[in-house]
Chain A
Amino acid sequence: MSNAIELVDVGWTADKAFALSDISLNVPMGAIYGFLGPNGSGKTSTIRLFMGMLKPDRGSISIFGRAVPKDMKSILARIGYVPERPHVYPMLTVAEQLRYHASFFRLWDDGWAKELMGRLELDADRKISRMSKGETGKLLLLLALSQRPDLLVLDEPTDGLDPVVRRDVMAAVLDYVSETSATVFISSHLVHELERICDWVGVMDAGRLVAELPMQRFKNGIKRLRVDGAPEVLEAFPFVVLSRHRDNGSGSTETWIVQGWEAPMRYQIETLGATLRDVADLDLEESFVELLRSFRPSTTAGAD
């Protein structure tokens, strides 16, 4: 068993306007998997599918090699989940919420929960309904981490939080991962947030998983090329041309966004009679945008 989460050809239809189609997703054991995608691309729906909250129309899902939703009880005992929106009971205090949550998890670490509460500056007697969004976000993470999960599923955990809280949350996650070999599945539409911490990345768009690869390959594999004198029709390259457009006012110079580029491939371009003038790295956000652009023949709508 090498994958913590595995989705094979999973399809799910919400309504006429939105569906997840043929999602095959693999989250390696011990990885920090960044799940990227614009709002409404299907990230939360995908998470709900493997959390056993949505029933897939087709395909199969397994977590730690166990089938979803058949073995959901034992699976959920190993998952720390921070949902997109707060799901805790507002009439409870922090301490009461911790007691409630702890009663369901065998591996709950009370000492660590208290330590984290101090680190995250949460007041045990504070009523949840009176907490700020940032405090609620920290509480959700505290709940998820204190159960000592093997898999942390964080659905937009920092969305709407201020930079200080965001840093605290991410730091707590990284500390946990550094102490354990837990797998982290973190979804976000904030690309730069994931750039520093993830070692795998999956990109969703309009209900499809358009890319899934190691972060390093994702960051280095997408380049911007400036090419002179390229023919109208391109033959097959060992790399993928995601997009090409002619530069304004520069004659025959074109900009290509390519995936899977490696330096020796320059020769292949020159055999066409074209000249490679420049190769530039894209940062993750630019790569993400270019990748999405290449997959979007037209405007799509969806639900997250």
Chain B
Amino acid sequence: MSSRSWCVLVVLTLGAALPLQAQQTAAELLRQIDSLAPLVEEAARAADAARLERVEQRRASIATRVQLDTIAVRGITLVTPRQDAAAARALFEEVWDQEFGGLESRSLSQRTFTFQTSTYDIEEIEVDGVREQIVAARWHSSAEVKNRIRAAMARAISAELGEVGLGRWVAGDPFTEREPAEVYRELVLAGSQAVRRCLGGAIDACSDALGLGSRADIVSTWYTPVERRDRVLAWAGYDPVRGRFNAPGRWTIESRRAVERCAGLETEDACDGFIDPAYTSWAPLAPHIRETVVARALEMGGLTAWTRLLQDPEMAPGDALAYAAGAPLEELLEAWREWVVAGRPDVHAGLAGSGALALLWILIFAALASRSTRWRFN
């Protein structure tokens, strides 16, 4: 948390405590907070200055040890220690060609990357404009390093998607690699009938669960009434057993009553008023799960997939994905589902190895125990 955030937090806390001390109106309270604003701004300025000074000192300290170069790899600006420059250039070019088909992207040219093969702490320097940092220490494999570069470049490129169409659908960067096992677990635990059906092989349900469909009754497709209730209660922080809210102060009497009606499932649609499918947080699968669909689309689409993906950011998500994948959406979703199901984790994986290791240790301890001496008396 930045110094500025701390100052604001302190002020807000003080502000929140004030009504307890005196019966003040909200307007009075706001006036008081406003009167503190210059103070807060001054404190924030001082904190920023101090931080910049520390950064400068750190930069100077590192500069005495490491000679940094700024190089251009095609359109990318790269800050790297001098001895790593050649490796950085080669790796970036290789990844660019093999993973992105040499895609021309203005996002790439607008960003600066840092690359280092050792822990010089240069990542701690805020080189102006740096958005992506790649550490490739000696214990990282080359595949791992390439993956980091790929992810960093993908993050930069994906900014071009903006906040419409697919960009809005994934609500963030679509290129974080996720383990299929992790995705499988989230799908099983999602608490959604649509997701369960999707796992069972119903591709239309996958489309619904991922929010790719355009059905009006999407909420009832996503959840059974009980599941809807569970979602709402979890969101509201309401404990149905105790009949209590975790933070009752957050709610008006009316909304509390609505939550209680939902908890009792007084009517079939008692919970529906809370769930707005336009917000991704109500969808059964979070944006980071959606990102894995994008990743599959890029995989299916080959070297030119990126180019197609960025071609029309305003395209509907389903269409954009199908276009990038170069295949119908159903085919893409089937591939995605297969990827997820194949990733079903063996939750007790490694138990046999643990057994062998334990046996080895037991033998070692037995050997140590057998060293028990017969010379017990002084």
In the complex, what residues of B have CB within 8 A of residue A48's CB?
A: 377
A24 to chain B, nearest CB (A): 22
Q: Do B374 and A53 touch (CB < 8 A)?
A: yes
A170 to chain B, nearest CB (A): 28
In the complex, what residues of B have CB within 8 A of residue A14's CB?
A: 378
B279 adjacent to chain A (CB < 8 Å):
no
A69 adjacent to chain B (CB < 8 Å):
yes
B375's nearest neighbour on chain A, judged by CB, is A55
A303's nearest neighbour on chain B, judged by CB, is B378
A49's nearest neighbour on chain B, judged by CB, is B377
B378 to chain A, nearest CB (A): 6
Query: Within B193-209, which residues are at the interface with A (CB < 8 Å)?
Result: none
B378's nearest neighbour on chain A, judged by CB, is A14
- Chain A: interface secondary structure? loop
A44's nearest neighbour on chain B, judged by CB, is B377
In the complex, what residues of A have CB within 8 A of residue B215's CB?
A: none
Q: Please count how many residues in chain B sit with their CB below 8 Å of the partner chain's CB atoms.
A: 5
B376 adjacent to chain A (CB < 8 Å):
yes
**Given contacts A14-B378, A55-B375, could you give 7 more A-B pairs where the C-beta distance is less than 8 Å?**
A15-B378, A48-B377, A52-B374, A53-B377, A54-B377, A69-B374, A72-B374
- A residues bordering B, Cβ < 8 Å? 14-15, 48, 52-55, 69, 72
In the complex, what residues of B have CB within 8 A of residue A54's CB?
A: 375, 377
A and B contact pairs by CB, cutoff 8 A, 10 listed: A14-B378, A15-B378, A48-B377, A53-B374, A53-B375, A53-B376, A53-B377, A54-B375, A54-B377, A72-B374
Query: Within B319-378, which residues are at the interface with A (CB < 8 Å)?
Result: 374-378
B146 to chain A, nearest CB (A): 64
In the complex, what residues of B have CB within 8 A of residue A72's CB?
A: 374
CA distance A69 to B374 in the complex (A): 10
A13's nearest neighbour on chain B, judged by CB, is B378
B373 to chain A, nearest CB (A): 9
In the complex, what residues of B have CB within 8 A of residue A15's CB?
A: 378
CA distance A48 to B375 in the complex (A): 10
B377 to chain A, nearest CB (A): 5
In the complex, what residues of A have CB within 8 A of residue B374's CB?
A: 52-53, 69, 72
B376's nearest neighbour on chain A, judged by CB, is A53
CA distance A40 to B378 in the complex (A): 15
CA distance A72 to B375 in the complex (A): 13
In the complex, what residues of A have CB within 8 A of residue B375's CB?
A: 53-55
A15's nearest neighbour on chain B, judged by CB, is B378
In the complex, what residues of B have CB within 8 A of residue A53's CB?
A: 374-377
CA distance A14 to B377 in the complex (A): 9
In the complex, what residues of A have CB within 8 A of residue B378's CB?
A: 14-15
9 closest cross-chain pairs (CB), A and B:
A55-B375, A54-B377, A14-B378, A53-B377, A48-B377, A52-B374, A53-B376, A69-B374, A53-B374
